Chains A and B, each alone.
Chain A
Amino acid sequence: MREEEYTDHTISVLVNNHPGVLSKLTSLITRRGFNIESIAAGPTKDPDMFRLTIIVKGDDQSVEQIQKQLYKIVDTVKVSPIDPRNKVEREIGLIKLRATNGSRNEVLQMVNVFKGQVIDSGPGGFVVEIVGSSEKVDSFIGLFPPQQVVEVARTGIVAMNRWEKKQTR
């Protein structure tokens, strides 16, 4: 496998909400030689189920292997690949920014441009929430010099396939 064939693949996994399932899934993926770029997990409308959104790097064939391997975990109910041309995805980033008198307005302007929200503020700066694609969160953080960014916490991406257009008509 050549490096340039590697792309990000998003896989949505529905699992039974049992203790230890998350570690079984992640250890299986890493054991089989894949790197997890991002992982997000949360309950579904059915409280007995969890949905994970996993992003792995690999070529098409190896990502197909991951999906098959995930089914080996008895608690895996459904593995669905997310179609890159037809997906919606969101990530939340919380960013703690240093902003003293001179730079506070500038930061608030940027938050506006990114349709973010200030969810905390203090004399030293703000905590800002940015919601969107990973790239959007990345580029927001990239606007500021590293010493201004005090802390970053991100959820990892959650993703879904869009409604099929035929059905919604």
Chain B
Amino acid sequence: MILKGARILVESLLLEGVDTIFAYTGGKVISIFDQLQEFEDRVRLILPRHEQGGTHAADGYARSTGRPGVVIVTSGPGATNTVTGIATAYMDSVPMVVITGQVNLDQIGSDAFQEADVVGITMPITKANFLVRDASEIAYTVKKAFHLATTGRPGPVVIDIPGDVQAQDVSFDYPDTIELRGYKPNMNGHPKQIKSVIGMLKQSRKPLIIAGGGVNLSGATEMVNRLADEKGIPVVCTLMGHGVMPKRSELLLGPIGMHGTLYGNYAVQHADLILALGVRFSDRIVGDGAGFAPKAKLVHVDIDPAEIGKSIKADLPIVGTIQSVLGDLNKADIPVDSEQWIRELVEYRSAHPLVAEDPKNPGGLAPQRLIQLAGEIFPKETIVVTDVGQNQMWAALFFGFSRGRSFLTSGGLGTMGFGLPAAIGAAVGNPDKPVLMISGDGGFQMNLQELATIRRYRLPVKMLVIDNGYLGMVRQWQELLFEKRYAGTVMDDNPDFAALAEVFGIHGRTLRDAKDAQDVLRELAECEGPMLLHAHVSPSANVLPMVPAGKPLEQVVEKI
């Protein structure tokens, strides 16, 4: 069958099971869009208002559904606008396929109109990237891109296709399989090492599971749950590992690290055996590497061998999927003697609870309390998407998550502006689930043009904009380390976001008083269609406790 390159691309995407594409058109992708038009009934095209928004939306779609997000943008500025979104996905190992138009082959390298070296630019932020020089390579490249994006450690893949290659007529034949020399992710943990873990668990009196983003990405939350429950092993998580256990489980001790709970960090520092599952031990988790988990033997399970021993030395490395390793552990009969340890942790937790108020402003609208209330009011299947900063950490600490893939946040790159567009992707991918975006006033203003996208597709995203008139996380550091010189962090003249939402055709409400919080949050949860709640919260609230960067986890600041 002889087809045009653009048609081959679309047919290939259909064969990969793609039914939703986030795409912004332009000169070098017109022919692809033209082909997509013919398959309107099979592929939903979501048009964002900015390519960055489209890329974050595809990311939110992928994180919440587990299926790869697909993005199509034009050459040059279209492609460079996706860079932040691609880097965000790369840092958090999100499967994504980004297709960029490129100038014609004979113009490449000539500084042609809307030309950018996309393969060069995206090299450090993609799992793989390809410039397609002949239409006969399109089908194979698409197959390869989806395979790479979704297997092993997932990640974004870029395919750059010149305009004339899209127009080229070649024969179309979609490959059934691909053979990639050298790319063979190790799926099953080594049996000998698994035997060693079992031995170590039997010896352990203070075992602890650290659940990382890998647990969510590989859909292994149930298995972690089972291991923890049946063997009696307490669980802490990283920012990316939220949703690993039901929020009221006695065994769940919340997040660890810089913005972890006191009891989560206490558990790490006192454990004698740590099972780290899909964790990359970022500096935000580890603090001072030398003082991390000083009493514990560390078993590190990861699909990516390069993560093992990168930041923290593992006593027992296991390369493989969490599924395969936990499958083996769950089958094994392991008596773990951890009763005393669990009692110790429960007592410690009761003695050091999280405080959902701003001590500097008693009776004020504390953002922590607001998020805690939202966690009580919103249904438990809610997908929460955050922006970056204090709002993100408060959401992580106070909302309470019970399911995997229910907390979407930019963990690795810390991308402000992620929240709103990623919530769009989550809503597109999960029409049956409520989506709540929690953003700060700063991050919200980085991509608020996407309100138009919410309106256009009538996506029922609930938006909680927490406005404290500051870039709060940086302000918090300024209080701690820069003698309260608030250089560049004051935003006390923010617009009326509720009125702004109305301009975009979205219902908006304003909240100023703590006593109205419950009612307004209920309205937010129960209203049909999208709604934005602009909450003027106590401006002095901080994310506490916190461990300053590079300090051991015991050196906690409890008050600023």
Contact = CB atoms under 8 A, between A and B. Distances in A.
A59 interface: no
Given A20-B119, A24-B123, A27-B123, A74 B309 contact: no
Interface in A88-109: none
A77 B179 CA distance: 12
Contact of A65 (B124, B181, B304, B310): B310
A72 B157 CA distance: 13
Contact of A74 (B131, B148, B306): B148
B309 A77 contact: no
B182 A61 contact: no
Given A20-B119, A31-B124, A74-B148, A69 B181 contact: no
Interface in B432-476: none
B389 to A, nearest CB: 27
Contacts of A83: none
B127 interface: yes
B113 interface: no
A68 B182 contact: no
A20 B181 CA distance: 17
Interface string B154-194: 00000000000000000000000000111100000000000
Interface in B307-356: 308-310
B128 interface: yes
Would you call the interface of chain A mostly helix, strand, loop, or mixed? mixed
A65 B148 CA distance: 22
A34 interface: no
Nearest to A79: B182
B144 to A, nearest CB: 8
B123 to A, nearest CB: 6
Contact of B306 (A15, A19, A20, A68): A68
Nearest to B307: A68
B305 A68 contact: yes
Contact of B182 (A20, A27, A69, A78): A78
Contacts of A71: 182, 305-306
B422 to A, nearest CB: 25
A16 interface: yes
Given A20-B119, A27-B123, A76 B305 contact: no
Nearest to A19: B131
Interface in B43-74: none
Q: Which of B123, B127, B180 has the most CB of A within 10 A?
A: B123
Nearest to B157: A74
A16 B124 contact: no
Contacts of B123: 20, 23-24, 27
Contacts of A74: 127-128, 148, 180, 182-183
Interface in A46-95: 61, 64-65, 68-69, 71-72, 74-78
Given A20-B119, A27-B123, A27-B124, A65 B182 contact: no
B309 A65 contact: yes
A69 B306 contact: yes
Contacts of A28: 124
B409 to A, nearest CB: 24
Which interface residue of B127, B183, B309 has the most chain A CB atoms within 10 A?
B183
Nearest to A76: B182
A27 B128 CA distance: 14
Contact of A61 (B124, B180, B183, B309): B309
A16 B181 contact: yes
Interface string A14-33: 11100110011001100100
Nearest to A18: B130
Contacts of B180: 74
Interface string B383-395: 0000000000000
B93 to A, nearest CB: 12
Interface string B119-136: 110011001100100000
Contacts of A23: 120, 123
25 contacts: A15-B182, A16-B182, A19-B131, A23-B120, A28-B124, A61-B309, A64-B309, A65-B310, A68-B306, A68-B308, A68-B310, A69-B306, A71-B182, A71-B306, A72-B127, A72-B304, A72-B306, A74-B127, A74-B148, A74-B180, A74-B183, A75-B182, A76-B182, A77-B181, A78-B182
Given A16-B182, A23-B123, A74-B182, 4 more contacts: A15-B182, A27-B123, A68-B306, A68-B308
Of all A-B residue pairs in the complex, the 4 with the closest CB atoms, nearest first, are A77-B182, A68-B306, A74-B128, A77-B181
Interface of B: 119-120, 123-124, 127-128, 131, 148, 180-183, 304-306, 308-310
